[in-house]
Chain A
């Protein structure tokens, strides 16, 4: 059982995931479907900025919490010696990547024309930080790091669609756009999801070594819970793609309400998936 600092680290990591994946996802959606999400342009910009700000706060807080883990008390959060020590390790490097990446993402949101591309670069830098520290870089394989970045970009894309698709589905004057956005996303997801799953399974195989570790170790069990939750998300997504979106395209306004509700449930389960991941990456050791 992790101590209070371990539990706080899990929550800080969860906030970080929400901030970085959420803001980068919105940027990707804005770039991928500019016309379809144009009614939400201002809203998306504000949400992306707020989420990126959230990511910066979570990154700094997470860094300070690591200081506390070194002394076993809250004093470590502001202890210059502890924070200075951490700064010299990869923990300091990833703090720079996360803060600089999120700041670049925010800046891009205020630059006209090519600003969204600047934001995407910022989001990618912040996402790349996860390939710089933790269990995956411990494997010492550049290919697996790239796989992780690909996995994270896919997840960000998925998380990014949730808010805009739900909002458009709730606005009766934009139902046609919502239906088309759902359809286009579904088409992209048909390619992205298998890659996402394949990348996830490859990384899990690399990290775990064998299937037995999936049930016999704490890390494996948490990963198993994550996989079950991902299964729930995929089921909901399949219902959206094959049932609600086609019905919306046929002009069924009730289907839009069902879609919005389904997205809300999907978001809640995705939060649980992220919480499982935060636990995996924060306090659980890999089976040796």
Chain B
């Protein structure tokens, strides 16, 4: 029985269909390679969402929480100011709440050369 339980649990947890992330497009685009760090980033979602937290990770630097400003209501387009940290790969991790109550999360990255 224990083996069966462990097997079942492992199978569930190994499943990769997690998330309710329905981000349509981002600026910069996911995987983009650009020559200068952008001064802002933007999200365009497929459905209404209330962003709750956005973090920027640059190389090995500690992560920086981005300021949502007054964008604290449900919407589809969000633009956040970004303080560039020079060349390297930037990863943006976001979390939010769908209007149906679903927690959503996702990430995208871009590289400044």
Query: Could you list which residues of chain A lie within 8 angstroms of chain B, going by C-beta atoms?
Result: 1-2, 5-7, 10, 66, 69-72, 76, 82, 85-86, 89-92, 133, 138, 217-219, 221-222, 225, 229, 265, 268, 272, 275-276, 279, 283-285, 287
Contact = CB atoms under 8 A, between A and B. Distances in A.
20 contacts: A70-B96, A72-B53, A72-B93, A86-B97, A90-B101, A218-B15, A218-B16, A219-B17, A222-B12, A225-B8, A225-B11, A268-B5, A272-B4, A275-B9, A276-B8, A276-B12, A283-B18, A285-B17, A285-B18, A285-B20
B44 interface: no
B99 interface: yes
B61 interface: no
A85 B18 contact: no
Contacts, number: 85
Interface in B12-27: 12-20
| Interface residues of B, dominant DSSP | mixed
B18 A70 contact: no
A34 to B, nearest CB: 34
A82 B97 CA distance: 9
Contacts of A82: 52
Contacts of B53: 70-72
Interface of B: 1, 4-5, 8-9, 11-20, 50, 52-53, 55, 93, 95-97, 99-101, 103, 105
A1 B18 contact: yes
Given A1-B18, A85-B50, A85-B97, A225 B103 contact: no
A91 B50 CA distance: 14
A95 B89 CA distance: 42
Nearest to A219: B17
Contacts of A133: 100-101
Given A1-B18, A272-B5, 9 more contacts: A1-B13, A71-B52, A72-B55, A72-B93, A90-B100, A133-B101, A221-B15, A225-B11, A279-B15
Contacts of B101: 66, 86, 89-92, 133
Nearest to B100: A90
Contacts of B17: 217-219, 284-285, 287
